[in-house]
Amino acid sequence: MSDPANPFALWMGQMQEMAKAMNPALEHFTPTGFEKLWPTMPAEVMEQFAGKGMNPEGLDAKTKMLLTLAGLTVLGAQAEAQVRMTVRQAAEQGATKQEIAETIGLMGLFGGLPAMNKAMELANDVLEDTE
């Protein structure tokens, strides 16, 4: 499977095994397709698989979603489907509009204003749709 001493390899291996268990065809599934299939996981499911359920002493799912959004923003918000999905998941985990905006805004310092503006535009679209 993977090296248990490496938490990154362990996490990746667990996620790959989970995807295979759910459906072997997920190996070739695109993020855009996933967004259409399952736009938001229930908060309890996300917390179990991406939050304290996997590591009780680690970060909660809301914090992980905000960190993910920060990384996607710095990358230039090139992965639009992933930004939209992450904003939805962060909101489902209890992140406020202010927290989402601050996360994206702060990343403007590192990824540049065009990246920040694109991520903010995507986030606004998602948050308007969820109201």
Give this prediction's pTM. 0.65
Residue type, 18: M
Sequence spans of domains, the chain? 1-38, 41-130
pLDDT of the residue at 95: 95
Domain topology for 41-130: AhpD-like (1.20.1290)
pLDDT at 2 over 80: no
Contact between 97 and 124 under an 8 Å Cβ cutoff? The reply is no
Phi-psi region of 33 (alpha: psi -120 to 50; beta: other; left: phi over 0): alpha
Burial class of residue 98, CB neighbours in 10 A (0-12, 13-18, 19+): exposed
